[in-house]
Amino acid sequence: MEQSFLKELIHYKKLKESPLRLIGAGLCMISVLFTGYLSHQLAISSFGSLGIFTFLYYQRLPLKQLMVRLSVVGSFLTAANFFVMLSTHAAWTAPIVVAAIGFLGRFFFRLYGIAKPGPFFIVMVTAMGVSTKIPLARIPVMSGYFFIGVLFAIAVAFVLHFVENEPLPEKKAGKTIIARINDDPAVVIDSLLYSGILFFAVYLSMGLQLKNPYWLVVSCASILQADNLRAMAHRNVQRIFGTIIGLAIAAFLLNLPLSVFETLLIITALFVTVEYFVKRNYAIAQFFTTPMALMLSMLVRQQYLYSMIQFRFLGIVIGSLLGLLAGWLMSTSLEFYNRKFHSN
């Protein structure tokens, strides 16, 4: 018997997952945060914390394959953030750059079977770059800070590979890119639709003059990360509801007289908590994602708290609804495409 929509929303998945990966994620975050703190460069903490998303692509693979995988993902993340920071100096190019990077991410991650989070974090760091306005001379420095996070992620993954005792999967025979496209011809139209939606999301967020345009874009991409239209509808409701609770928690935390040291510890704890809940119940994960994101933003940009809360709520609601609409359009388009060309 099919579950009701409400039951699916509140369903809590019980997963058997190694706690070592949560510990590894926490080590990545705390390492880069305190590198910035101890060197009196909180920009390292802010930008490096984006680079550590490389660690979230960790899988139990042979060491060489794992290192290549994480190096490619980390380089892609760094390059994406770099080029979009350049694009902010010619604002009209930002939607084009985000769409191009989104296309490449969706295309190659799908072709090479890089499972969730897939291209989501590529889009996330790209969209966040749109919200920065860094002088040209400082962009390479900020990319260096970003790459510090990538290096921490790869180092922790290297150690974790030897600590975990799970058996390695069997090595699969490699395929050429042409063979992969022949096996999944819908990847081209899917990637084009995805990039077109991201283009519109960036254009809309800039037109609405939200304080941090990336919140709208990231919300849209997050909804599109779901496997099917029903799952997208779940995420839409869960993200909006979770954000409301998360904003209340953020308002409480950001009004406490916390030192920078205490703030960094709380950010790390929130990051680990998000990683624990995101696979179990997406709404609960959003309770902690919002305060973590706002606390990271406050590290280097002291903005008016309630203005940030207001714009984050607007960005997430609009982005989530746009993502759901876009998901319906993509599902409908691909259904007709599949009928015509009999692709999967």
pLDDT digits (tens, 9 = 90+) for 91-131: 788 889 889 998 998 888 888 878 767 788 888 888 877 77
> What span, in angstroms and rounded, lies between the C-alpha atoms of 219 and 286?
11
> What span, in angstroms and rounded, lies between the C-alpha atoms of 201 and 213?
9
Residue 295 lies in a domain: yes
> What span, in angstroms and rounded, lies between the C-alpha atoms of 286 and 317?
13
Burial of 257 (0-12, 13-18, 19+ CB in 10 A): exposed
Residues 319, 218 contacting (CB under 8 angstroms): yes
More confident residue, 278 or 30: 30
Residues 78, 152 contacting (CB under 8 angstroms): no
Dihedral class, residue 49 (left if φ above 0, else alpha if ψ from -120 to 50, else beta): alpha
> What span, in angstroms and rounded, lies between the C-alpha atoms of 85 and 89?
8
Residue with tokens 């039951």: 7
Distances (CA, A) of 276 to 80, 162, 210, 222: 27, 22, 30, 17
pLDDT band of 6, cuts 50, 70, 90: low
Distances (CA, A) of 187 to 47, 113, 121, 215, 343: 31, 12, 19, 26, 10
- The arithmetic mean of pLDDT across residues 206-210, rounded, is 77
Number of structural domains found in the chain: 1
Residue 2 lies in a domain: no
pLDDT band of 300, cuts 50, 70, 90: low
Residue 8 lies in a domain: no
> What span, in angstroms and rounded, lies between the C-alpha atoms of 281 and 10?
7
Q: Which amino acid is at 320?
A: S
Tell me what pLDDT residue 304 has.
Answer: 47
Please provide the DSSP assignment of 118-166 as one string.
Answer: TTHHHHHHHHHHHT----GGGHHHHHHHHHHHHHHHHHHHHHHHHH--P
Residue 257 lies in a domain: yes
Tell me the chain's radius of gyration from C-alpha atoms.
20
Residue with tokens 């496997």: 227
Distances (CA, A) of 100 to 95, 126, 139, 143, 230: 9, 10, 20, 19, 27
- The arithmetic mean of pLDDT across residues 193-197, rounded, is 88
Contacts (Cβ under 8 Å, ≥6 apart) of 259 = none
Residue 240 CA, chain-centre distance (Å), reads 17
The predicted model scores a pTM of 0.85
> What span, in angstroms and rounded, lies between the C-alpha atoms of 344 and 333?
13
User: Rounded to 10 degrees, what is the CA torsion of 169, 14, 18, 174?
Assistant: 20
For residue 119, whether the previous peptide bond is cis, meaning omega lies within 30 degrees of 0, is: no
Tell me what pLDDT residue 302 has.
Answer: 52
Residue 309 lies in a domain: yes
More confident residue, 61 or 302: 61
For 282, the domain range is 17-168+177-341
Residue 11 lies in a domain: no
pLDDT band of 31, cuts 50, 70, 90: very high
